[in-house]
Amino acid sequence: VLLKESGLGLVKLSQMLSLTCSVSGGSITVSYYGWSWVRQPPGKGLEWVGLISYDGTIYASSSLRSRTSIFRDIVKNQFSLQLSSVTPEDTAVYYCARVKGPSYYNDFEAYDYWGQGTQVTVSS
């Protein structure tokens, strides 16, 4: 399974961050996987942002939920992240990744495939 992130690497303060993860080698509708967005701010550890499960259920970090939208395109086998009203604290490398189930969202040992990551910088 291959995952690849795409989207703008520079986002202006208070604007919306939009990223898409293209998946090949496996369908995003296969039970019981979850398809996550995970980020790593500079000098910090991994932070789970949210996920969409195989059945389309959305889960999001409580700290980001009000600004997060996650959706998918089954035909294209893609899932996407939108994060609104970005601040410099949203600057990070953003990864898309597959996890063995939604309940394992915060167990990074349970992730088996990762994209290469894409740098997103919030500029003022």
d(CA 66, CA 73): 22
- SS3 assignment, position 104: helix
Which structure tokens are listed for 103? 């309940």
pLDDT in tens, 67-100: 999 999 999 999 999 999 999 999 999 999 999 9
Tokens of 117: 């990551």
Q: What is the 3-state secondary structure (H, E, C) of the chain?
A: CEEEEEECCEEECCCCEEEEEEEECCCCCCCCCEEEEEEECCCCCCEEEEEEECCCCEEECCCCHHHEEEEEECCCCEEEEEECCCCHHHCEEEEEEEECCHHHCCCHHHEEEECCCEEEEEEC
Q: Is the pLDDT of residue 59 over 90?
A: yes
Give yes or no for residue 124 having a pLDDT over 90.
no
What pLDDT sits at residue 65?
96
Provide, rounded to the nearest whole percent, the portion of the chain with pLDDT above 70: 100
